[in-house]
């Protein structure tokens, strides 16, 4: 092994350690150094360079920098396209699949849904052809495409993909598995989107319980499951159970991730909904406006998630008789939903109905 390769491996290991310790800027620096050295050596190490770029893309994604993540993932894809054609090992195929899945998922988070569907469909087809029906890589590809279809309102497609992935994973690993918990989490979220909270509750609860046993109460994945379960409890009007979950998750996420992160605004938005349901409009408005400001900063004005919080704030203002302010927010949300999600998406219909109510 050459000295450059040894140094590249050392930088990669240092990056992984720094990321585990939440030293994100340091981790990014080491990943960039590792990638540069692997690319400089070339040959079989082009594959290593692509793998490091994927790790860098995941790092960007974890802190909400979706554009940065997309740039790194596309660089990885270009390396595999240019230099990876000679590599047909299991590892090379996994890197290729991971790259396409990353790009598709980042497109989804940027609300570029058509591009996301093209990339994630390509990834699933490749996984089926290369790894087979029951491989874990195929289950992962199904899961990512299912998440997209949940966002685009194609709920039946999403459910089919989730259930196919879940059946294969349980057969291989049993239920006590982190990936199984992820699918349960996503099924809970799907039924939440359908507003079928009774059906979603056992899935969301299973995800949280499995992750607690595997990782403990305060692992970020466990906290995300807890918040998702609390969202289902809100739909069942079990606010006394959901509110302390949000507050606990928010405390730890702020400590781990900082204030301006997607997980923070999810919990702020949900706490605002609880305050509204309990007849505390002032506290609710403060939380909605805080969540909206952070979403505008990290996602942009034209993202559907930003529009959803604008719509929720509009509902609150409408209930207070502040009709002009509410109308402005409903119009804003409707334009985003029509453009990004289409005329027949449930969120578009919701915003249209809300606007009609204040017309």
Instruction: Using alpha carbons, select from 303, 305, 307 the residue that is nearest to residue 264.
Output: 305
pLDDT confidence of residue 24: 87
| pTM of the predicted model as reported, rounded to 2 decimal places | 0.85
Q: What is the C-alpha separation between 185 and 214, in angstroms, rounded?
A: 15
pLDDT confidence of residue 20: 85
In the chain the first and final C-alpha atoms are separated, in Å, by: 71
**Local structure of residue 42 (DSSP, 8 states):** -
Encode 280-318: b = buried (16+ Cβ within 10 Å), e = exposed: eeeebbebbebbbebbbebbeeebbbbbbbbbbbbbbbb
pLDDT confidence of residue 253: 85
- Integer angstrom CA distances of residue 273 from 61, 215, 305, 317: 27, 29, 15, 13
pLDDT confidence of residue 261: 82
pLDDT confidence of residue 72: 97
Distance of CA 287 to the CA centre of its chain: 22
Q: What is the C-alpha separation between 324 and 329, in angstroms, rounded?
A: 9
CB of 42 within 8 A of CB of 5? no
pLDDT confidence of residue 23: 87
Report all structural domains of the chain as residue ranges with CATH numbers, in order of start: 1-110 (1.25.40.10), 175-254 (1.25.40.10), 258-359 (1.25.40.10)
Residues 6+ apart with CB under 8 A from 343: none
pLDDT confidence of residue 1: 60
Q: Which residue has the tokens 């017309």?
A: 359
CB of 246 within 8 A of CB of 271? yes
- Residue 133: how many other CB atoms lie within 10 Å: 10
- Integer angstrom CA distances of residue 37 from 7, 99, 128: 8, 20, 33
Ranges of residues in the chain with a pLDDT under 50 are: none
pLDDT confidence of residue 100: 97
**Local structure of residue 110 (DSSP, 8 states):** T
CB of 184 within 8 A of CB of 209? no
- Integer angstrom CA distances of residue 216 from 16, 213, 312: 21, 6, 33
CA torsion through residues 246, 249, 253, 254, sign: positive
pLDDT confidence of residue 299: 87
């Amino acid at each position: 092994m050459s000295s450059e390769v040894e140094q590249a491996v050392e930088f990669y290991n240092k990056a992984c350690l720094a990321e585990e310790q939440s030293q994100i800027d340091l981790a990014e620096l080491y990943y960039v150094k590792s990638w540069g050295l692997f690319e400089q050596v070339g040959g079989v190490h082009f594959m290593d360079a692509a793998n490091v770029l994927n790790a860098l893309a995941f790092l960007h994604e974890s802190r909400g920098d979706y554009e940065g993540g997309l740039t790194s993932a596309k660089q990885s894809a270009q390396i595999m396209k240019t230099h990876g054609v000679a590599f047909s090992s299991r590892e090379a195929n996994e890197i290729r699949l991971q790259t396409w899945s990353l790009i598709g998922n980042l497109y989804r988070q940027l609300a570029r849904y058509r591009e996301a569907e093209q990339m994630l469909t390509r990834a699933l087809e490749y996984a089926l052809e290369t790894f087979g029906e029951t491989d874990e890589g195929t289950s992962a590809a199904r899961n990512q495409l299912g998440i997209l279809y949940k966002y685009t309102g194609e709920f039946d497609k999403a459910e089919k993909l989730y259930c196919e992935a879940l059946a294969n994973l349980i057969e291989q690993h049993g239920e006590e598995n982190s990936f199984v918990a992820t699918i349960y989490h996503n099924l809970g979220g799907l039924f939440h989107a359908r507003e079928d909270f009774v059906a979603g509750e056992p899935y969301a609860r299973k995800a949280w319980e499995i992750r607690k046993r595997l990782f403990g109460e305060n692992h970020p994945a466990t906290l995300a499951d807890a918040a998702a379960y609390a969202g289902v409890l809100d739909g069942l009007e079990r606010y006394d159970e959901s509110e302390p979950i949000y507050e606990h998750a928010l405390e730890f996420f702020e400590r781990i991730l900082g204030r301006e992160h997607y997980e923070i605004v999810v919990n702020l938005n949900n706490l605002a909904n609880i305050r509204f349901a309990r007849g505390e409009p002032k506290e609710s408005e403060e939380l909605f406006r805080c969540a909206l400001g952070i979403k505008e900063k990290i996602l942009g004005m034209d993202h559907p998630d930003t529009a959803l919080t604008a719509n929720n704030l509009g509902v609150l203002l409408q209930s207070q008789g502040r009709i002009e302010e509410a109308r402005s927010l409903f119009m804003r949300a409707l334009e985003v939903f029509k453009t990004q999600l289409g005329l027949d998406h449930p969120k578009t219909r919701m915003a249209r109905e809300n606007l009609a109510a204040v017309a």
